[in-house]
Structure 1
Amino acid sequence: MDVKLIHIPKVHDVRGSLAVIEGDCIPFKIARVYYLFDVPSDAYRGGHAHKEQQSLILALSGSFEVVVNNGSKNERYLLNKPNIGLYIPTGVWREIENFSSGAVCLVLASTNYDENEYIRDYDTFLSSKQS
């Protein structure tokens, strides 16, 4: 599926920790950054795939689960550390759920926003995987 956890380099001392994303730390150039917060615990986000975009999802605070599907297999990842991100390549369906109180989900994206680049219908997504 090529979905994988990426460990972000961090430095820790008595003052706390610092994580840095630069250079080839992630497998794409960042074009857009956005974040989700104040998501109710019973809500979910995502529910789409991308035709071109690659993403890295990080739990900056709290925790949540990311369910990914490549058209034939589901995998579930718990994100709860701000220096471990989930890399999602192009063409993978994702849903984000089970947000803890105070969770902040940061997404680094390889493309600028373009609604035409999204696949929002699950059946259309599955059909795209058959070709």
Structure 2
Amino acid sequence: MKKLYTIIKFPSFETKNGALTMFQEGKNAGEVPFTIKRTLVTKCTESSEPRGAHTHHQSRQVFMVLSGGCDVELDNGAEKTTVTLSHPEEGLVLEPYVWHVMKNFKKDTVTLALFDSLYDEKDYIRNYEEFKKCLKK
């Protein structure tokens, strides 16, 4: 069964002018564990409907909150959990076949998702029942 998630702690530096958080690919702790081929930035409001509600056949991603916060519900078919993200230095690594739903957005939440592949609609599973069938194969 797929591991539900891993958290990456990205390097973050506080100064009197603000904070700097660095995202780079590499094999060390605090680095994105794949070559970044696509990024998505999303701005949500407190009244935003849940987002996500899908998984991927092959794509890996790192999901983070740049400002604000939200809950991410995760399901690998054997276990479920909810992770709360609210700091840009925390990256949630999602492997293929982990169903994810983002919800409970704080006001003006901005998220960033980094992917190891280019967009391909065929990589998405958007129906939960289909997801469960894929896990049985």
- Secondary structure of the residue aligned to 1:127 is helix
Choose the corresponding residue for 2:76, options 44, 47, 70: 70
TM-score (normalised: structure 2)? 0.90
Equivalent position of 1:18 in the other structure:
20
Q: Deviations over 1:13-57 (max 9, x none)?
A: 222211111131011111101111134535100010101100111
Name the structure 1 match of 2:134: 128
Equivalent-residue separation in structure 1 for 2:7 and 2:25 (angstroms): 17
**Aligned-partner Cα distance in 2 for 1:85–1:21:** 9
CA offset digits 1:82-105 (Å, max 9, x no partner): 111111011111100000111011
Q: How many residues are paired up?
A: 131
TM-score, normalised via structure 1 length: 0.94
Q: Which residue of 2 aligns with 1:86?
A: 92
Q: Is the counterpart of residue 43 in structure 1 residue 45 in structure 2?
A: no
RMSD: 1.3
Q: Return the offset for 1:12.
A: 2.0
Return 5+ residue gaps in structure 1 as ranges.
none
Identity %: 29
